[in-house]
Amino acid sequence: MAKQAGLDLGALDGSGPHGRIIKRDVEAALESGGGMKAASDDTSERAPAASTPAPAGDREFEEIKVSNMRRVIAERLQEAKQTIPHFYLTVDCEIDKLLAMRKDLNGRSDAYKISVNDFVIRALALALRKVPDANAEWAGKSIRKYKAADVAVAVAIEGGLITPVVRDADQKGLAAISNEMKELAQRARDGKLAPEEYQGGTFSISNLGMYGIKQFDAVINPPQAGILAIGTGEQRPVVHDGALDIATVMSVTLSCDHRVVDGAIGADLLTAFKGFIEDPLTMLL
């Protein structure tokens, strides 16, 4: 497309994963008349933005060149917070039954090792199938509602984050999700993911529970309409039938794009998710 239009790819900023130039970048350049910069110009060294802060006095510091991946992540997150009207919903999920089931299932075979995150992926996918209005994205003059529950999972790699996608997660069992996620995460860290493996998710998960984080609000990954932030499971006092008890509780926060997912839809999605997490046998039906 760029060649046919006489555009210089070196003058374009890619908005795809890892800074890849995708179709909409070429279309945007054509609409704005940009992308005609001479091919001989060096675009690898960009002038600092006008808002670049001055160093803190005479203190010593190390200046680290921003990688293409980090630059794209920064641009997309800034775009998300500036253009997407975020709001947040939080629920506490008791996970003692889930932990008992996980222990039982993992003791039955060496062919898989199911994690709490695998249950979370499965529960979110089933909740999206149950509340399809949340499995959507804002498209300006329309809302795109997806039939497939393709769950993108944030994975930390050197230099940033990448979100490999478990396709049709509502159609897969826990063992299949577990094995697929382990393979995707490893190849993500090795830099061997194909573009189709980290593009096109319909909803995202960010799990910081393994770092001991109790609760946090994640930034939506555009053009998706939501992301689920998972905190750590910890023992907390709870009330059961009017009596004080102890349970393992996991706090979950849903970040919603209010243009697509209003309060009622978001609450329905979290209620469905909480139901699957607290009664994990229903995930096997």
pLDDT by residue for the chain (285 residues), tens only, comes to: 888 788 887 778 788 776 788 888 888 888 776 555 433 344 444 444 446 777 777 788 898 888 888 888 899 899 999 999 999 999 999 999 999 999 999 999 999 999 999 999 999 999 999 999 999 999 999 999 999 999 999 999 987 889 999 999 999 999 999 999 999 999 999 989 998 999 999 999 999 999 999 999 999 999 999 999 999 999 999 999 999 999 999 999 999 999 999 999 999 999 999 999 999 999 988
Q: Find the catalytic residue in 18, 86, 240, 258.
A: 258
pLDDT at position 126, please?
98
Taking the chain, what is the end-to-end CA distance rounded to the nearest angstrom? Answer: 47
pLDDT at position 50, please?
45
Residue 170 CA to residue 46 CA, distance in Å, equals 44
Question: Is position 258 annotated as part of the catalytic site?
Answer: yes
pLDDT at position 37, please?
46
Q: Which long-range contacts (CB under 8 A, 24 or more apart) does 205-209 make?
A: 205/117, 205/120, 205/121, 205/124, 205/151, 205/152, 205/153, 205/154, 205/230, 206/154, 206/230, 207/117, 207/120, 207/153, 207/154, 208/232, 209/116, 209/117, 209/233, 209/250
Domains and CATH numbers, the chain: 1-44 (no CATH), 85-284 (3.30.559.10)
